[in-house]
Each structure stands twice: as structure tokens, then as C-alpha cells.
Amino acid sequence: MAALLPIYFASVAAKDLPGPQATAAWGVTTAVSLVLAALLSPIAGAAADLLGRRKALLLLSAGAGIAATTLLATVGENEWPRASIYYILAHVPFVISFVAYDSLLPHIARPGDLDRISARGYAVGYIGGGLLLVLNAAMVLFPASFGLASPASAMRASFLTVALWWGLFTIPLARRVPEPPADPSRSRTSLAAIPMQTFRRLAGTLREIRAHREAWKFLLAFWLYGDGIGTIIKMATIYGSEVGIGRNDLIGALVLVQFVGVPFSLLFGKAAKKIGARAGIFVGLAVYALLSLGAFFLSEAWHFWLLAFFVGTVQGGTQALSRSFFASLTPPERSGEWFGFFSVSSRFAGIAGPLLFALAARSTGSSRPGALVIVLFFVAGAALLARVRPAPPR
């Protein structure tokens, strides 16, 4: 999603489109997928809570995402509409699977361990993603060594390895992580009544979240600064490609992000014990704002490597502490529904930024102004986060 697919989209799937138009098409594709994910996430979360089947939701959505990721390997030259459709069909279930995944956090971690466990989750995620990305990068750089005809065919093969990796590492969670106990009253709910009850619970949860002022303010703050984070993740490589950074440098820098993210995610988890999760998020947002300013002047490969290093220092930690900070504000028994709205906030957070890139590319012929505007998301998000009071210890 961050390293290979945007490059493949721009250089192969949208080969005959001019650079700014390819960037615009990718920006619109990501925005559409985020809108759909934002609309479906809270519904799926509420249904999982109602049925007491968070793991089932995770496994079902992961299966759909794996299937669509496999289909990406069939996309050839100038078939960018198919690439867009398959990406949307993969990304929406991916988001829903994380609603279920995140909702398990308050059930398997003690309240005092939320920051540490959340940060560890991101750290080992970086290890897993980094190892696979190293393999995929080697495939793209040395395709003949893997029996592949070209870098393009290596990227198509990498989509298959992602699908396999996703399925393989879902198995331990399916076997070892317990399903939180279900409410006994839910067992009397008929299948026909589930859709109506889901929407009723969803409306009730929305009213409840709005009544919890601190959680509501945090969701708005997260929506703002998360838009900047999501835009950087989804647009970095295609933006780098547009300004002339080579494919090997783009992929190599993304590998660097994965492995830098491991120790710094753990460091953020430890720091939160001393300074608090909110203060840790502020540190990450300050670095992100400076990086966005630097991206406006990006022109050389070493600039991209330097920016990637500093992204790796804050990306996992900021997201991990955001997740655990929100978990500290939520009632565990309604975690699926509340994290459904957390997902809405995070997915809507990634819509405005890519659209800004698309508008900038179409109106000015360059995406640089879009990179500069991203700073405002971090500043506004930090200002609103400063008004959120941390939850008292449980």
C-alpha cells in the first residue's frame, strides 16, 4: 500500500498517463476507498459487539482482503481502473479487520499496560512488514535471481507474497487470541433483528461518544492530525516518483522506515510511562510538521532517505499512543462500536490530504503545494488535542 503499489500504479498500471494525472488518479482511488471504509467500519464494529464475534469479523474481512490483494497480481499495463477497483476491494476489508483487531486491545491488556502493548503491536508489525518488504525489494531489484522477467513482474509477484503473508500471520491470532466473553442477552437476538439492532446501537454509541466530551474531542483531533499521517503513508512514494526520485531509492527508503520504526515504537511506549501518551503524541506531531515542510523542498534522493528516517522515528509511536490513549477513554464492553468510530475518524482522516494532492496536481501541474498544506493538519490536530484531558487511572 505504501511502498510498491503506488510505484506500480504510476509506472505500469497508469503508464500512459502523465505524472500529475497518475498522482491524481491514485489520490482519488485512495479517497474513495477511505470513504467506503469509513461508512462501513462503525456498522461492522457494532455488529461484532452485538454478536460477540470480533474475531469472526476480523477473519472474514481478512479473507476478503487477501482475495482482492491476490487479484492485484493480474493487473497489467494501462489497466489502472482495474488496479483502482482491486485496491478498493482489498483496502476496505483491511480497514474493517483493524476495527476488530483494535477492539481486542482493552480485553487482552491490563489498563496500565495499554500504551506498552499497543506500542509493542506496532513494533512487531514493523518487523513483519519490514522483513517482507526486504524480500519484495530484492525481487524488484534483482528479478532474474528469483526467476522473474522484469521489475514489473516482480512487483506483481510481490502482491501474491503480501496475500500469503497476510493469511499466514492471521493464523496465530485465530488460534491463540481469545474471543472476549459475549453478553448472554445477545444470544437471544434473532438473525432477522440483528440489522435493526445494529443501527440502534450505532446511533446510541454516537450519542454516547458525543456525551463523553474528552473522547469526542480526541476523535476530532485525531481526524485532523491523522489526515496528515495517512496522507504521508499513502502519497509519499508516488509523490517522490513525480519529483524524480528513482524506484530503488523509493523502495529502499520505505524499508528503512520499517526497521527504524521498531525501536522507536518501543521507545514511545516506554516514554509514555513517564510523560503520558498525550505528550508522546505531541512529540510525534511536531516532527511530522517539520517533515511536511521539508517535503515541499524535496528534490534529491538523499532528501527522501532523510525524510524517511525521521518518519520512521515517529510513525509507529504516534499511531500506537493514539490507539492506546483512545482505548483509555472507552468502556471495554463497547470496544467494537467505539473503535468503529475511531476507524471512521482515522479513515476520514486520510481523505482530505490525498484529494489536496489530486487538486494541486491538476490545477498547478505539481503536487508540491499539497505537501505544504499538510502542515496545517498537524498544527490544528495538536491544538485540539491540547484540550483533551487524559482519563484518570482505572
Count the domains in the chain. 1
Residue 171 contacts residue 41 (beta carbons within 8 Å): no
How do residues 277-318 score in pLDDT, each as one tens digit? 999 999 999 999 999 888 888 888 899 999 999 999 998 899
Nearest to 84 by CA among 163, 161, 183, 5: 5
Confidence at residue 18, expressed as pLDDT on a 0 to 100 scale: 80
- The cell numbers describing 194, all together, are 440483528
Nearest to 384 by CA among 228, 229, 224: 224
How do residues 34-61 score in pLDDT, each as one tens digit? 888 878 877 777 777 777 788 888 999 9
Least confident of 120-134, 140-154, 256-270, 363-377: 363-377
More confident residue, 205 or 369: 369
Dihedral (C-alpha) 292, 296, 298, 299: value to the nearest 10 degrees? 170
The dihedral through the CA atoms of 356, 360, 361, 362 has a sign that is positive
Contacts of 83-89 with CB under 8 Å at 24 or more apart are: 83/5, 83/8, 83/9, 83/13, 83/14, 83/29, 84/25, 84/29, 84/32, 87/5, 87/29, 87/30, 87/33, 88/29, 88/32, 88/33, 88/36, 89/64
In a domain, 185, yes or no: no
In a domain, 115, yes or no: yes
The pTM assigned to this predicted structure is 0.72
Confidence at residue 215, expressed as pLDDT on a 0 to 100 scale: 82
Whether the predicted pLDDT of 188 surpasses 60? no
The 10 Å CB-count burial string (b at 16+, else e) for 161-193 is ebbebbbeebeeeeeeeeebeeeeeeeeeeeee
Confidence at residue 358, expressed as pLDDT on a 0 to 100 scale: 73
In a domain, 48, yes or no: yes
CATH number of the structural domain spanning residue 18: 1.20.1250.20
In a domain, 116, yes or no: yes
In a domain, 56, yes or no: yes
In a domain, 181, yes or no: no
Confidence at residue 94, expressed as pLDDT on a 0 to 100 scale: 93
The separation between CA 305 and the C-alpha centre of its own chain, rounded to angstroms, equals 21
Confidence at residue 185, expressed as pLDDT on a 0 to 100 scale: 57
| Cβ atoms within 10 Å, residue 383 | 13
Whether the predicted pLDDT of 192 surpasses 60? no
Mean pLDDT of the chain: 84
Whether the predicted pLDDT of 169 surpasses 90? yes
Domain carrying residue 207:
5-176+191-385
- The cell numbers describing 296, all together, are 515541499
